[in-house]
Amino acid sequence: MFANFENEILFAARLLLGGAFVFAGLRNIQNQAFLTQLMAARGVPLARLALWAGIVVQVVAGVLVLAGLWIAVAAAALILFLIVATLMFDNFWDHQGPERAARINGFVANVALAGGFLSLMGQAL
């Protein structure tokens, strides 16, 4: 049914996935002071540098996905970013009650995003 729209569907997928990470990276620039403190409190060494490295990955890889350039490499970079960010910020196993539920939701959302990036990688290879 949608076979005639394969390119349009893939463009929409790249727009949504890549665009979300460009937006999040730019938003993280605005929240850098808070995020640096949060990461330092969680024991991340060189928290400010780690935060900026993550922001660069989000924005650059997101733009590459949007543009349809080096999609497999960019998607792999964002999957690695998701793994690190999920372990750092969605550690539901350390929480109880509503906080645990919120972190489980973040964990599941990141797993779903990783699945979307795997789909793009599979299509690009």
CA atoms of 42 and 45, how far apart (whole Å) = 9
Amino acid 48 reads R
User: Distance between CA 10 and CA 122 in Å, rounded?
Assistant: 12
For residues 108-120, give the mean pLDDT. 96
Q: What is the pLDDT of residues 10-39, one digit of tens each?
A: 999 999 999 999 999 999 999 999 999 999
pLDDT band at 51 (very low <50, low <70, confident <90, very high): very high
| 120, 30, 42, 54: CA torsion to nearest 10 | 30
| Residue range 67-101, pLDDT digits in tens | 999 999 999 999 999 999 999 988 888 889 999 99
- C-beta separation of 92 from 100 below 8 A: yes
**4: pLDDT strictly greater than 90:** no
